[in-house]
Amino acid sequence: MGGVDKPLVELAGRALIDHVLERVRHQVEDVIVSYNRNFDAYYARGRTMVQDRDADQGPIAGILAARPFIRTTRVMVVPGDTPRLPLDLVEKLLGAAAPIALPRTAGRRQNLVCLMDIGELDSLAAFYASGGRAMRRWLDTRPVAEVTMPEAAFFNVNSREDLERLSAELAAC
């Protein structure tokens, strides 16, 4: 999308991150938003905000930046560009009763949406320290339960065309 900060792109008059926050806020005790630029725009959302410890190193850097602020035994990770997350996402993933649970949609694992035990962050940190940056690769080494869910709920905005498509779908509702 031309280097824009995708979570701040507007959909139906609100930033994508606001749609995501609305979908998850009633499912978790606390929300921590990790960002790597545009501090003022994120800070204005009134959540715990943490800056990625290593800019432009991907989602794992953001997860690890949030680690010192996590006060729960389980961590729900979601990307800021997925505005249709299920309203019962956490409940469904908790039902898997595994150290890491994530959605599977249309035969594809949703690697950037996962519920994990806090202890799994030690393994994630070691993976990152060894040069690992792909969440998918780290998850391939861990005990993961996959929960089948509808694909549309995990549609993420990766292009202007995606944004236009989602805007049209929302307007039709």
Residue 95: band (very low, low, confident or very high) from pLDDT cuts 50, 70, 90? very high
Looking at residue 152, the DSSP 8-state letter turns out to be: G
CA distance 126 to 140: 14
CA distance 142 to 105: 19
Average pLDDT over residues 136-143: 97
Average pLDDT over residues 86-106: 97
Note the pLDDT of residue 90.
98
The overall average pLDDT reported for the chain is: 93
pTM: 0.92
CA distance 17 to 19: 5
Q: Which two tokens stand for residue 59?
A: 């989602």
| 3 state SS for 47-78 | CEEEECCCCCCCHHHHHHHHHHHCCCCEEEEC
Residue 36: band (very low, low, confident or very high) from pLDDT cuts 50, 70, 90? confident
Topology of the domain covering 6-172: Spore Coat Polysaccharide Biosynthesis Protein SpsA; Chain A (3.90.550)
Burial of residue 122 (number of CB atoms within 10 Å: 0-12, 13-18, 19+): exposed
Note the pLDDT of residue 56.
82
CA distance 48 to 76: 15
**Which residues, including other chains, have CB under 8 Å from residue 96's CB and lie 6 or more apart?**
115, 145, 146, 147
Higher-scoring residue by pLDDT: 117, 4: 117
Percent residues over pLDDT 70 in the chain: 99
Instruction: For the chain, give every domain's residue range.
Output: 6-172
